Structure 1
Amino acid sequence: MDEKGFVEGVRRYMSQLREEKRYSSTKSYQDALNSFIKYSGTENISYSDINKANLLRYEAYLLEKGCMRNTVSTYIRRLRCIYNKAVENGEAAFIPSLFKGVFTGVESQRKKSLPPGDLNRLMTVPVKGERLRKTQLALCLMFQYGGMSFVDFAHLHRGNIKNGVLDYNRRKTGTSMRLEVLDTAEVMCKELAGERAGNSGYLFPFLSGTKNGHEAYLEYNAALSRFNRNLRMLKEVAGIASDVTSYTIRHSFAMALKEQNVPIEMISELLGHKSIKTTQIYLRSFSLEKMTMVNKSCFENVYDYMPEVG
């Protein structure tokens, strides 16, 4: 086996991803490769180095460094993908259950959503300056647009809203989304869009519309970073201790629906998920208050039970 076969295999696949303009995936594989090279202490990594014992040691190494379990899973799944491609190409040996026993799942993130009170303060707290006002408007609109992700929000065109209906395809999955625009959202949309966005081709003023390929990917990442920085400023003004990012809005939307007893099938469709399993990852446990209310109601219905008199 080539002693650099694995590293070359990753780089070959990243070249393919770049050609397909899948820049986010390219970065994910690059991060995983950098991590595994750092762990190995060398770039001379053959496919035979991807063995059960080494994978377990690598998993322990990542956890000791303080990596989240989902990060560990992402890195190991990237290794698995490259190894499986090498097996298909006859470059690596097939080893049954090679990746069994190392974490490759998804762990629910229980602290991403905010309670209604915190959401209300973020949406309504008086702010000074155009930057925070636009951030607040964007937050409110993303929530009203069905918990829309920032990547879809930033790439909306004016043509995506016609006759009061929002119609677009999710950039992550291609899922077709269609939602009636609320009256409150229409007013906020006009304020946030202003006049500048008409020149960029986009509805909202986050992207220039002049970049292509990798440069467009970098511009979007910079816009996302700015938005998350502005959200941190907004949450400080609102006096909220919890972390707030663009993902918080989406997760909070899902949890607010769950607390209102909306069926998970409806939540999943509003979020544009292809699988209810994905939606379940978003939804942590019900709030303590909700659990207490249901528990109390259940007990009282039984304890105070009165049979119907026929």
Structure 2
Amino acid sequence: MSLFAAPNGVLDKLEKIRRRFLWGGSEEKKTIHWVSWEKVIADKDKGGLGVGSLKSINISLLVKWLWRLRSESSTLWAKVITGVHKLHDKGDDYYSMKSMTGVWNNIAGIKRELEKRGIPHENIIKKHQGGNGISWRCEITRDGKYKVSALRHILEDNGHVVIDSFIWIKEIPLKVSCFIWRAKQGRISTTTALSSRGINLPTTTCCQCNSMEETTDHILVQCVFAKTVTEWIFNWCNVPLISFQTVHDVLDYASNWGTCPKKKKRLLSICYATLWSIWKARNERIFANKRLCATKVVDIVKSTTFLWVKHRGGKRGLNWMDWNILPFKSL
């Protein structure tokens, strides 16, 4: 990946393996791919998972060699490349003699890939003439030094766009954050979602209220059980409750509530835990035939978020008694 431009066919096969791994499938076992791969590999700033495409990684690693050739021109390998390809009297964007074959020509050819994607070479590697002589600066980073992650970020921005953003919180376990990310898009394994994908089920009715179709927004927000849990959680937080219809409504309200950034983050963390706990209660009902009452789920939300904030968030001095009264007391 760092020495050769990988053929598109090879990259496609590797991406297929990654997709199977993410969704727990294999060549023998097919699984449902709940979210499009374009959204999965999109940058987190664009609402994706930030996995990144192998093509972008390949390009970014190859461009690093071009940067090193200019910025480390005094090293032996750079002198050899410069001499062999006669770069002394050539332009700044000239890296190899086309008549020659070999690894370096393969690396230098990546400049054409940048041009195809509308990224000027001088934005990556730019020459500066100063009192101390010639120096090279990378225009896409703050410190002027090339970073693979910086170019990869630009390449992903150019290739993948996800309209809806998502807030990732370090206190929240990755498994939970990924679930909320999927739920916000309506891409979790509800009975209606499974049925629409050809899975035969005895019923698609919500197991908590037994009156409505089980969709993502219904089981997590609209169901009487979910509404009761959410109401008690918001009362505990002393936050005004409005009528929510979708998972997006809940998350949007929490992320824009109040003026204190720390309280917004804390409330959003609690909302993540609430939606996760409601889903877990639903699974207990279906798979273990165990019905959890709303008060039990509320207690689970309180204790779960307490442990997350205390241990994952580094708030070792957090007191359970204060937390149980008001989760914002320690802020």
* Structure-2-length-normalised TM-score: 0.27
Greater CA radius of gyration, 1 or 2? Answer: 2
Instruction: Indicate the structure with greater helix content.
Output: 1
* Structure-1-length-normalised TM-score: 0.28
